[in-house]
Amino acid sequence: MEKLTFLTEAHVRGIRGNYGTPTYVYDEETLRAYAKAVLAFPNPYGLTARYAMKALPSVAVTQIFSSMGLHVDCSSGYEAERALRAGVPADHIQITAQQLPHNLSELVEQGVQFTACSLHQLEAYGNLFPNSEVCVRINSGLGSGHSNRTNVGGPSASFGIWHEYLPQVIAIAERCNVTITRMHTHIGSGADPEVWHTCAQLSLGIAARLPEVRTLSLGGGFKVGRMALEPTADLRNIGNRVAKDWEAFYLKHGRKLHMEIEPGTYLVASAGAIVCTVIDIVDTGANGYSFIKTDTGMTEVIRPSMYGAQHPIVVVPATDEKRGVKDYIVVGHCCESGDVLTPEPGNPEGLQPRTLKEAKIGDLLVIGGTGAYCAGMSAKNYNSFPEAPEVLLTSKDDFRLVRERQTLEQMIANEIAL
């Protein structure tokens, strides 16, 4: 069975007493530890480490990372505006987005950097800002996500400019009089240094054809083991392997490329947990399943429903007492058959019981590994459930509310009655 990580049972009971459930909790010490590992990524000619803000756009988390020297990568103009409001310097913000921001000119004029992710985006930027520098995102032809839903490279991905269209990229840059000084790639998640070596070789091979490129980003996607038996990327081993590729590129082409990486999940996944309440326990007979129903679900963590993703789950009794164990399917509070928190790994349509401490109605339940792609990517307000609050466990071992629970009035504030 999985165990609590940065929280204690006393913490969990106190969180419910002070903030109610469900509540997101983030651990500052864990955030800082992972940020230090990212900032120490081996590099021969300089490093810029960016936080992929989409993983968890909390202002408090963004401020912690910015204060430590991390820059920010934003997946929309709105994220860039949130980063600016959080106090991130404009020149530390980069937009790498599927959709062109409606206020791109305003953002760039403030100093925000831009990555063109398609031929159309490159031309649009060039028309707005001739005689300037730009970054281009290239799809190198390889992807390594664990499924098509998480794959951001290769022929099944729409992200970036297909590598075979490099002549068009060069032609647009010449026509618009922009200089491509930075190149961005993002191939997927992984922990194997040899996979990252392959990614680097592909990316460097393309950068070699863009003679003005001085900075190359490998994107993010460093594997984090949310479950106890899952591997976690060793950034030092990966960095040492990739650094050799950078050095070989310099010897061959005479360019010392500045390196960029932009992890999201790696920085925040293990620093987050959801504290919720067991609201019911039901079963479907002797040959069926036993279900734990909770007051959370896809409204706070949609990854299991989308991907069949696995999160550690721990039952915390409402009072100190010894319990046995039992197999359960854990489900959410939404009126939705897909709101399952213990799907079969990689198969959101399958069920896989978990062996957990025997649960009673009124107990607490902690879902771990929920720092990444949970608060920022959920079925918010489905069934009209309000957004859950977010709490930071500070380095001083106290709790600080960093986002209040949404009210019904806030939820319907923009509705217009007939």
* 216 SS3 class: strand
Instruction: Determine the pLDDT at residue 140.
Output: 86
Instruction: Determine the pLDDT at residue 340.
Output: 98
Instruction: Determine the pLDDT at residue 148.
Output: 40
Instruction: Determine the pLDDT at residue 153.
Output: 53
Instruction: Determine the pLDDT at residue 190.
Output: 82
Q: Is 4 a domain residue?
A: no
Same domain, 386 and 252: no
Q: Is 374 a domain residue?
A: yes
* Residue 333 near residue 367, CB atoms below 8 Å: no
Same domain, 163 and 121: yes
Instruction: Determine the pLDDT at residue 228.
Output: 87
Provide the strand spans (E) within 6-125.
23-27, 47-52, 71-74, 93-96, 113-116
Cβ–Cβ contacts within 10 Å for residue 91, how many?
11
Q: Which amino acid makes up residue 208?
A: A
Helix pair angle (77-85, 59-67), 10° resolution: 70
* Residue 1 near residue 256, CB atoms below 8 Å: no
Instruction: Determine the pLDDT at residue 191.
Output: 87
Q: Is 46 a domain residue?
A: yes
Give the whole-angstrom CA distance, residue 129 versus residue 177. Answer: 9
The whole domain housing 309 covers 9-22+269-407
- Number of structural domains found in the chain: 2
Same domain, 198 and 245: yes
Same domain, 255 and 340: no
Same domain, 171 and 292: no
Instruction: Determine the pLDDT at residue 277.
Output: 98
Q: Is 414 a domain residue?
A: no
- pLDDT tens over the chain, length 418 residues: 899 999 999 999 999 999 999 999 999 999 999 999 999 999 999 999 999 999 999 999 999 999 999 999 999 999 999 999 999 999 999 999 999 999 999 999 999 999 999 999 999 999 999 999 999 999 987 654 444 444 345 667 788 999 999 999 999 999 999 999 999 998 766 889 998 999 899 999 999 999 999 999 999 999 999 998 899 999 999 999 999 999 999 999 999 999 999 999 999 999 999 999 999 999 999 999 999 999 999 999 999 999 999 999 999 999 988 899 999 999 999 999 999 999 999 999 999 999 999 999 999 999 999 999 999 999 999 999 999 999 999 999 999 999 999 999 999 999 999 9
* 226 SS3 class: coil
Same domain, 238 and 351: no
Query: What's the CATH number where 237 sits?
Result: 3.20.20.10
Domain boundary residue, one of 263, 283, 299: 263
Instruction: Determine the pLDDT at residue 142.
Output: 65
Same domain, 15 and 32: no
Q: Is 160 a domain residue?
A: yes
Q: Is 298 a domain residue?
A: yes
Which is it for strands 133-139 and 161-162: parallel, antiparallel or unpaired?
parallel
Query: What's the CATH number where 380 sits?
Result: 2.40.37.10
Tokens of 378: 């959920």
What burial class does residue 4 get, using C-beta atoms within 10 Å of its C-beta: 0-12 exposed, 13-18 middle, 19+ buried?
middle
Q: What is the DSSP letter of 219?
A: -
Instruction: Determine the pLDDT at residue 189.
Output: 61
Same domain, 149 and 118: yes
Tokens of 326: 């039992």
Give the whole-angstrom CA distance, residue 46 versus residue 216. Answer: 11
Radius of gyration of the chain (CA): 23
Q: What is the DSSP letter of 133?
A: E
Q: Is 415 a domain residue?
A: no
Provide the strand spans (E) within 213-284.
215-217, 258-261, 272-283
Residues with Cβ within 8 Å of 235's Cβ and at least 6 positions away in sequence, in order, are 37, 38, 40, 41, 222, 266
* Residue 240 near residue 283, CB atoms below 8 Å: no
Same domain, 38 and 158: yes
Give the whole-angstrom CA distance, residue 398 versus residue 408. Answer: 29
Cβ–Cβ contacts within 10 Å for residue 206, how many?
20
Provide the strand spans (E) within 248-389.
258-261, 272-283, 290-294, 313-316, 325-331, 343-344, 347-351, 354-357, 364-368
| Tokens 């500045």 found at | 258
Same domain, 225 and 273: no
Same domain, 200 and 79: yes
Tokens of 267: 């920085």
Domain boundary residue, one of 216, 240, 263: 263
Q: Is 3 a domain residue?
A: no
Domain boundary residue, one of 233, 263, 293: 263
Same domain, 306 and 219: no
